[in-house]
Amino acid sequence: MNHYTAEIHDLGGFSVRRALPNPKHDLIGPFVFFDHFGPVTFPPGKGIDVRPHPHIGIATVTYLFEGQIIHRDSLGNTGAIEPGEVNLMSTGKGMVHSERTAEDVFNNESRLHGIQLWLALPLELEEMEPEFIHYPKQDIPRNREDNVIYSVIMGEAMHLSSPVKTYSPMFYCEVFSTATTTVHLTSPNNDQQGIYIATGSIEFEGHTYQQGDLICSESAQDLHVILTDETRILYFGGQQLEGKRHKHWNFVSSRRERIQQAREDWKAMRFDLIPDDQDDFIPLP
C-alpha cells in the first residue's frame, strides 16, 4: 500500500486538492487526474468561472456532493449538473468546455463540493469523436446497508453496476457512512485501486487517514476499512492501460507529438469553439 496526501491549490476564493497525478502514481487504472474541490461557501457575487479551454485524449467525469455547475461545450451542450448526477465528457480528438456558476446561484450565497477526474482513453479511442452524456441522479445505482450508502458512479463495484459509459475495465464509487462502521470494498476490476477521503477519517491496516489522503494498492484484493461518522470516501481503480500517457496542461496522449499539435491548434484557435461562449478563453500557458 502507498499513501499520498493531496496537494492543495488555491484557485482564488476556493481550494482544490489534487490527488493524481502525484510523485508515487501517474495513473491508477485509467485514472490520470483526480481533483477534489471544496467544500466552499461562496458569498453573493462569487462563484466559479472556468473559461473555455480544450482537452484531448481523455474522458472527464464530474460528480457533485453539494452545489451546481453550468457546463457548456463545443458540441453545443449546455446544462446544470447537481449533486448525485454525472457529467461524462469524452474529448477524444478534441473538445472545448467551460464551467461556471449559474447567474441565479451567483447572486446568492451558495455551496460547492465535488470531484472532477480524468480517465485516459485506450489507444484505439484516443482520437474518437467527442461526445457528452449527462446522467441524472436516478440513473446512478445506490444501496444502503446499515449505516453506509454506496453509490456506484461508473463500472462495477459493491455488487452494483452503473449504466455510465466506460471505455476500459474500471470502477468508481462513493461510500458515505452515517456512523462508525467497517466496510468491505470490492470490485471485479480492482487490479489497481485507490481510496480517497473526501470528508471525515478512516482506519486502515492499523493507520488513521484524514481528508485529502489517498491510499493506493496495486494488488487485486478486497479492502476492509473502518469509516468514522459522517465520512465520505471515493473508491476507484481498474485495469492498467497499455503504454505510457504523456500529460501537458489539459492534454493527454500516448504520443508527445500529438500534444504538441494540440498546443499549436489551441494557440491558433483551430479547435471547435463553444457556440454561446466565445467572448473569453484560457490561453495556452
Strand pairing class (86-90; 58-66): antiparallel
Helices (H) and strands (E) in the chain, counts: 2, 25
If one counts every other C-beta atom within 10 angstroms of the C-beta of residue 269, the result is: 11
Average pLDDT over residues 204-216: 96
Q: Which residues of 2-31 are buried (b: 16+ CB within 10 A; e: fewer)?
A: eebebeeeeeeebebbbbbbbeebbbbbbb
Helix (H) or strand (E) holding 28: none
- Look up cell 451542450; give the residue: 77
Q: Which residue in 284, 279, 272 sits closest to 100, CA to CA?
A: 279
Looking at the chain, the whole-number percentage of residues with pLDDT higher than 70 is 99
At 169-198, the pLDDT tens digits run 999 999 999 999 999 999 999 999 999 999
* 16 has a pLDDT exceeding 70: yes
- Look up cell 492498467; give the residue: 240
Average pLDDT over residues 9-35: 89
Q: pTM, whole model, 2 decimals?
A: 0.96
Map 60-103 to HEC letters.
EEEEEEECCEEEEECCCCEEEECCCCEEEEECCCCEEEEEECCH
If one counts every other C-beta atom within 10 angstroms of the C-beta of residue 109, the result is: 11
Instruction: Show the cell assigned to 105.
Output: 446561484
DSSP 284: P
Task: Enumerate the domain spans of the chain.
Answer: 2-238
DSSP 202: E
> Is the previous residue joined to 122 through a cis bond, with omega within 30 degrees of 0?
no
Query: What are the helix (H) ranges across the chain?
Result: 103-106, 256-267
pLDDT band at 105 (very low <50, low <70, confident <90, very high): very high
Average pLDDT over residues 217-226: 91
Identify whether the C-beta of residue 271 lies closer than 8 Å to the C-beta of residue 96.
yes
* 14 has a pLDDT exceeding 80: no
Average pLDDT over residues 124-153: 97
pLDDT of residue 24: 87
pLDDT of residue 214: 98
> In the CATH hierarchy, which fold is given to the domain comprising 2-238?
Jelly Rolls (2.60.120)
pLDDT band at 285 (very low <50, low <70, confident <90, very high): very high
Average pLDDT over residues 217-241: 94
Average pLDDT over residues 123-131: 98
Instruction: Give backbone dihedrals phi and psi of 258, rounded to 5 degrees, phi first.
Output: -70, -35
pLDDT of residue 12: 63
* Chain mean pLDDT for the chain: 95
Average pLDDT over residues 100-129: 96
* 11 has a pLDDT exceeding 80: no
Average pLDDT over residues 109-132: 97
Q: Which residue has the higher pLDDT, 65 or 11?
A: 65
Instruction: Name the region of 12 (left: φ>0; alpha: ψ -120 to 50; beta: rest).
Output: left
C-alpha 79: how far from chain center: 18
pLDDT of residue 220: 85
DSSP 45: T
Looking at the chain, the whole-number percentage of residues with pLDDT higher than 90 is 92
